[in-house]
A and B are shown apart, each in its own frame.
Chain A
Amino acid sequence: MTHDPTTSACGEPGRLAGSATAAPQPPGRIGGQIDYDKFLDCVHCGLCTAACPTYLETGDENNGPRGRIYLMRSVVDGRLELTPRVNAHLDLCLDCRSCETACPSGVEYGRLIEPFRASQRRAEAARQSARNADWFHRYILYCLFPYAQRLRWALAPARLMQQLRLDRLLETLGVIKILPRRLQRMQSFLPRLLPGGPPLPEFLPALGPKRARVALFTGCVADALFRHAHWATARVLQQNGCDVVVPRTQVCCGAIHYHSGADHPALALARANAAAFDAAGVDAVVVNVAGCGSMLKDYGQIARELEPAQAALLAELGGLADKVRDVSQFLAELGLIAPRGELKLRAVYQDACHLVHAQRVREQPRDLLAQIPGLELLSIAEPEICCGAAGSYNLTEPEMSDRLARRKLANLLAADPQVIVTGNVGCSMQIQSALRQARRAIPVVHPMELLDLSYRGVAFSRG
Chain B
Amino acid sequence: MTTTDHDVSRSAAGVGAAFLTRLESIFGEHGLIRQPEELLVYECDGYVIEKNVPDVVVFPESTEQVVKVVNLCAEFQVPFVPRGAGTSLAGGCLPVGGGVMISLTRMKRILEVNLRDRYAVVEPGVVNLHLTQHLKGTGYHYAPDPSSQGACTIGGNFATNSGGPHTLKYGVTVNHVLGAEVVLPDGSVVQLGGAVEDTPGYDLTGLFVGSEGTFGVCTRVTVRLTRDPAACRTLLAVFNSVREATQSISQIIGAGIVPAALEMMDQGIIEAVEAAFHFGFPLDAAAVLLIEVDGLEVAVDDEARQIIAICQAGGAREVRQANSPRERQLLWKCRKQAFGAIGRLSPSYCTQDGVVPRTKLPEIQEFITAVGQRHAIRIVNVFHAGDGNIHPILLFDERDSDQVRRVLEASEEILLKCIELGGSVTGEHGIGVEKISLMHRLFDAHDLDVMRSVRQAFNPGGLCSPMKMLPTAGACGMEHVMQKRPGRRAAL
Say yes or no: B41 contacts A62, CB within 8 Å: yes
Q: Is B340 an interface residue (CB 8 A)?
A: yes
Say yes or no: B106 contacts A46, CB within 8 Å: no
Assembly CA distance A89 to B342 (angstroms): 28
Q: Quick one: given A40-B347, A59-B105, A104-B343, are A48 and B37 in contact (CB under 8 Å)? A: no
Q: A276-322: which have CB < 8 Å to B?
A: none
Question: Which of A77-85, A134-142, A338-346 lines the interface with chain B?
Answer: A77-85
Chain A residues whose C-beta falls within 8 Å of the C-beta of B344 in the assembled complex:
41, 105-106
Assembly CA distance A104 to B85 (angstroms): 17
Q: Is A86 an interface residue (CB 8 A)?
A: yes
Say yes or no: B343 contacts A43, CB within 8 Å: yes
Partner of A104, one of B37, B45, B129, B276: B276
Assembly CA distance A366 to B1 (angstroms): 42
Say yes or no: B37 contacts A60, CB within 8 Å: no
Chain B residues whose C-beta falls within 8 Å of the C-beta of A107 in the assembled complex:
343
Q: Is A359 an interface residue (CB 8 A)?
A: no
Q: Is A324 an interface residue (CB 8 A)?
A: no
Assembly CA distance A130 to B87 (angstroms): 38
Say yes or no: B338 contacts A104, CB within 8 Å: yes
Number of residues from A at the complex interface, CB < 8 A: 37
Partner of B339, one of A37, A40, A45, A381: A45
Query: Which residue in chain B gives the minimum CB-CB distance to A86?
Result: B37
Say yes or no: A71 contacts B108, CB within 8 Å: no
Chain A residues whose C-beta falls within 8 Å of the C-beta of B108 in the assembled complex:
59
Assembly CA distance A47 to B48 (angstroms): 15
Q: Is A442 an interface residue (CB 8 A)?
A: no
Chain A residues whose C-beta falls within 8 Å of the C-beta of B48 in the assembled complex:
43-44
Q: How far is the CB of B392 from chain A (nearest CB, A)?
A: 16
Chain A residues whose C-beta falls within 8 Å of the C-beta of B129 in the assembled complex:
50
Query: Which residue in chain A gives the minimum CB-CB distance to B133?
Result: A381
Interface centre among A48, A61, A74, A103 (most CB of B within 10 A): A61
Say yes or no: A60 contacts B85, CB within 8 Å: no
Say yes or no: B41 contacts A46, CB within 8 Å: no
Chain A residues whose C-beta falls within 8 Å of the C-beta of B35 in the assembled complex:
83, 85
Say yes or no: A60 contacts B343, CB within 8 Å: no
Chain B residues whose C-beta falls within 8 Å of the C-beta of A104 in the assembled complex:
276, 337-341, 343
Say yes or no: A47 contacts B337, CB within 8 Å: yes
Q: A64-106 toward B: CB 8 Å interface, digit per residue (1/0)?
A: 0011001100100001110101100100000000000011111
Query: Which residue in chain B gives the minimum CB-CB distance to A79?
Result: B40
Q: Is A155 an interface residue (CB 8 A)?
A: no
Say yes or no: B151 contacts A47, CB within 8 Å: yes
Say yes or no: A45 contacts B59, CB within 8 Å: no
Say yes or no: B338 contacts A71, CB within 8 Å: no
Partner of B148, one of A46, A59, A381: A46
Q: A18-66: which have CB < 8 Å to B?
A: 37, 40-51, 55, 59-62, 66
Query: Which residue in chain B gives the minimum CB-CB distance to A74?
Result: B40
Interface centre among A37, A59, A79, A86 (most CB of B within 10 A): A59
Chain A residues whose C-beta falls within 8 Å of the C-beta of B40 in the assembled complex:
70-71, 74, 79-80
Partner of B86, one of A51, A61, A71: A61
Q: How far is the CB of B123 from chain A (nearest CB, A)?
A: 12
Assembly CA distance A237 to B350 (angstroms): 51
Query: Which residue in chain A gives the minimum CB-CB distance to B344?
Result: A106
Q: Is B261 an interface residue (CB 8 A)?
A: no
Interface SS, A side: loop
Say yes or no: B37 contacts A83, CB within 8 Å: yes
Partner of B276, one of A44, A45, A67, A106: A106
Assembly CA distance A80 to B340 (angstroms): 26
Query: Which residue in chain B gives the minimum CB-CB distance to A89?
Result: B38
Say yes or no: B342 contacts A105, CB within 8 Å: yes
Size bin of chain B's contact surface: 35 or more
Q: Quick one: given A62-B38, A70-B40, A71-B41, are A45 and B340 in contact (CB under 8 Å)? A: yes
Q: A409-438: which have CB < 8 Å to B?
A: none
Assembly CA distance A74 to B51 (angstroms): 14
Query: Which residue in chain A gives the minimum CB-CB distance to B273?
Result: A104
Q: A374-394 toward B: CB 8 Å interface, digit per residue (1/0)?
A: 000000010000000000000
Query: Which residue in chain B gives the minimum CB-CB distance to A41?
Result: B343
Q: B76-110 toward A: CB 8 Å interface, digit per residue (1/0)?
A: 00000000011100000000000000010110100
Chain A residues whose C-beta falls within 8 Å of the C-beta of B38 in the assembled complex:
60, 62, 85-86, 89
Partner of B45, one of A46, A59, A79: A46
Q: B168-185 toward A: CB 8 Å interface, digit per residue (1/0)?
A: 000000000000000000
Assembly CA distance A218 to B349 (angstroms): 46
Q: B40-54: which have CB < 8 Å to A?
A: 40-42, 44-46, 48
Q: Is B125 an interface residue (CB 8 A)?
A: yes
Assembly CA distance A42 to B344 (angstroms): 10
Q: Is B33 an interface residue (CB 8 A)?
A: yes
Say yes or no: B59 contacts A59, CB within 8 Å: yes
Say yes or no: A103 contacts B37, CB within 8 Å: no
Q: B1-24 toward A: CB 8 Å interface, digit per residue (1/0)?
A: 100000000000000000000000
Assembly CA distance A105 to B41 (angstroms): 19
Q: Is B282 an interface residue (CB 8 A)?
A: no
Say yes or no: A48 contacts B151, CB within 8 Å: yes
Q: A132-153 toward B: CB 8 Å interface, digit per residue (1/0)?
A: 0000000000000000000000
Chain A residues whose C-beta falls within 8 Å of the C-beta of B85 in the assembled complex:
46, 49-50
Say yes or no: A106 contacts B343, CB within 8 Å: yes
Assembly CA distance A318 to B448 (angstroms): 62
Q: How far is the CB of A400 from chain B (nearest CB, A)?
A: 13
Chain B residues whose C-beta falls within 8 Å of the C-beta of A51 in the assembled complex:
150-151
Q: Is B316 an interface residue (CB 8 A)?
A: no
Q: Quick one: given A81-B37, A104-B337, A105-B341, are A45 and B46 in contact (CB under 8 Å)? A: yes
Assembly CA distance A42 to B275 (angstroms): 16
Q: Is B348 an interface residue (CB 8 A)?
A: yes
Q: B344-360 toward A: CB 8 Å interface, digit per residue (1/0)?
A: 10011100000000000
Q: How far is the CB of B273 from chain A (nearest CB, A)?
A: 8
Q: Is B130 an interface residue (CB 8 A)?
A: yes
Chain B residues whose C-beta falls within 8 Å of the C-beta of A81 in the assembled complex:
37
Q: How far is the CB of A33 from chain B (nearest CB, A)?
A: 20
Chain B residues whose C-beta falls within 8 Å of the C-beta of A60 in the assembled complex:
33, 38, 59, 103, 105
Q: How far is the CB of B400 from chain A (nearest CB, A)?
A: 12
Chain B residues whose C-beta falls within 8 Å of the C-beta of A86 in the assembled complex:
37-38
Say yes or no: B347 contacts A44, CB within 8 Å: no
Query: Which residue in chain A gives the minimum CB-CB distance to B397?
Result: A40
Add 17 more A-B contacts to A74-B40, A104-B338 (CB < 8 A): A40-B347, A43-B48, A44-B45, A44-B48, A45-B148, A47-B87, A49-B86, A49-B151, A50-B85, A59-B125, A60-B105, A61-B42, A80-B40, A81-B37, A104-B276, A104-B340, A105-B342
25 cross-chain CB contacts under 8 A: A40-B348, A43-B48, A43-B340, A44-B44, A44-B46, A46-B85, A46-B148, A46-B152, A49-B151, A50-B150, A60-B38, A61-B86, A62-B38, A62-B41, A70-B40, A70-B41, A71-B37, A71-B41, A80-B40, A81-B37, A83-B37, A85-B38, A105-B276, A105-B341, A107-B343
The 5 closest A-B pairs by CB, nearest first: A105-B343, A104-B340, A59-B105, A104-B337, A67-B41
Q: Which residues of A contact B (CB under 8 A)?
A: 37, 40-51, 55, 59-62, 66-67, 70-71, 74, 79-81, 83, 85-86, 89, 102-107, 381
